[in-house]
Amino acid sequence: MTLRHVVTWKMAAEDPAERAAHAAGIVARLEGLVGVVPSIRALSTGVNALEIDGNWDVTLVADFDDAAGLDAYQVHPAHQEVVGYVRSVAGGRSAVDFEV
C-alpha cells in the first residue's frame, strides 16, 4: 500500500505579487524536503497555473509507504520548519490522505 497525502493552500495575501512569492516560497521549501525526510517516497508541488475563480494557490502531493511514514514526515524537524513558514503566509488549508 502507498499512502498519498494531498494538501492545498490558499495564500492570505491579497496582492497578487505577494501571493505568488509566498506560493513559490512554499513550493521551494517543500521540494527541499526530498532527500532530507527519509519517509518521503515521492513529492510533487505546484503553484496554480490558471486564474479560475475558486482555485487555490499551491498544492502538494506526497507519497509514503504507510501512515507511519506520513507520521514521521509530519514530526520531522525539517518539515516543522516548513510548517512554520506555511502558517505565516497561508490563509486556508485543505488536505486528504488516501491509499493508492
* 54: DSSP letter: T
> What's the confidence (pLDDT) of residue 1?
87
Q: Which domains does the chain have, with CATH numbers?
A: 7-90 (3.30.70.100)
Torsion of CA 86, 87, 89, 95, to 10 degrees: 60
Average pLDDT, the chain: 97
Tens digit of each residue's pLDDT (9 = 90 or more) over 63-96: 999 999 999 999 999 999 999 999 999 999 999 9
How many CA atoms within 13 Å lie on the side-chain side of 85? Answer: 15
Tens-digit pLDDT profile for residues 19-65: 999 999 999 999 999 999 999 999 999 999 998 999 999 999 999 99
Three cell numbers written together for 11: 495564500
Average pLDDT over residues 4-24: 97
